[in-house]
A = this chain, B = another copy of it.
Amino acid sequence: MKVSVLGCGRWGTFLGWYSDKIGHNVTIWGRSGSKNLEELEHTRKNKYLYLSETTKLTNDLDATIDNSDYIIISISSQHLRNLCEDIKKSNYENKTFILCMKGIEVSTGKRLTEVFREILGSKVKLAVWVGPGHVQSFVKRIPNCMVIDSDNKDVTEDVVKTFSSDLIRLYIGEDLIGDELGAAAKNVIGIAAGMLDAVGYSSLKGALMARGAREVSRLIKAMGGDEITAYGLCHLGDYEATLFSEFSNNRRYGENFVRGTLNDDYLAEGVSTAKAIVKLSDDYNVEMPIIRGVDAVLNGELSPHKMLKDMFLRSVKKEFY
């Protein structure tokens, strides 16, 4: 199949590499002026992998879309709306789009498929691809499981079939709301994990996993999804990569934030997601003390030590409510 990837960051470039490995005809697109695209064009590699000779690189969006059956999008969540406006000018109607990204639009509180459909309409075939997996492990041939979801069972099954392999086992998701929210929210729990690491409370990550997944499952349910989805690959299944791994952007962001060692040019997805989820928790009247606490610390409204203690030791009597 003709597969293109819009976005040439770590994850997008990996998805191009992967699609090529499993036999597709791959084009990777980046904006003109993108440093990542420039590096790939000059060296055919990045820090993690080498591209095959047949993988095309381009900054021509219209031609890329025109020439693809499947279009994977992997860019920063807050830029999706702008990219969709650009896609709208192309011949996009009969393609299958797959969002491989994790976030919520902070200005609207909308899920990424909602943003996409708002601009490109309800008829385009659209799926999400979420769940665990480090580029660093995949390129060493260490397999993992991920999940595909959409609002159309046939699309979900087709994408699973087109992109499954021995390296990435794709499961069929049946709760788009849950899979999108769960995937986005795990980045905020990752920041909380980094904060625990910074204050020497790493042993509270077990409680963080149980209590964090619980509040996310409450939000999913309130928004019309299935509460069990938070405990699937999209959220809990991504906790190893996000809460424990040295590779996790969001965990490192939380740790550096508390230590006061953040670089100015570096922002984790979970920062805007925390803001968006606080808004959703207000709109849907769902108690979310951990994500709310992370947001308050990031906004400088609360000291991380106080937040982390309160977060786990507040006087809730019953475990499930």
Contacts and interface: CB of A to CB of B under 8 A. Distances in A.
A206 B238 contact: yes
Residue among A171, A214, A226 with most chain B CB within 10 A: A171
Interface string A207-227: 111110110010000000010
B171 A206 contact: no
Nearest to A167: B313
Contacts of A30: none
A42 interface: no
B205 A240 contact: yes
Interface residues of A, number: 53
A129 interface: no
Interface string A170-182: 0111100000000
Interface of A: 132-134, 137, 142-145, 147, 160, 166, 169, 171-174, 200-211, 213-214, 217, 226, 228-229, 231-233, 236-241, 244-245, 309, 312-313, 316-320
Contact of A142 (B204, B228, B319): B204
A204 B173 CA distance: 19
A198 to B, nearest CB: 13
B320 A232 contact: yes
B204 A233 contact: no
16 contacts: A134-B203, A137-B203, A142-B201, A142-B203, A145-B312, A169-B313, A172-B318, A202-B240, A206-B239, A209-B236, A210-B232, A211-B237, A226-B320, A229-B320, A233-B319, A236-B236
Given A144-B206, A145-B211, 6 more contacts: A143-B309, A145-B204, A145-B210, A169-B313, A206-B241, A244-B244
Q: For the complex of A and B, list the 3 residue pairs with the smallest distance between their C-beta atoms, beginning with the closest.
A: A206-B240, A210-B237, A132-B206
Given A206-B241, A207-B144, A241-B206, A319 B171 contact: yes
Contact of A237 (B206, B240, B313): B206
A172 B317 contact: yes
Contacts of A200: 142
A240 B189 CA distance: 14
Contacts of A214: 231-232
Given A209-B239, A210-B236, A312-B169, A144 B319 contact: no
Given A132-B206, A240-B203, A173 B319 contact: yes
A117 B214 CA distance: 33
A166 B313 contact: yes
Given A145-B207, A231-B213, A174 B320 contact: yes
Contacts of A172: 317-319
A228 B210 CA distance: 11
A168 to B, nearest CB: 10
A144 B239 contact: no
Contacts of A137: 203
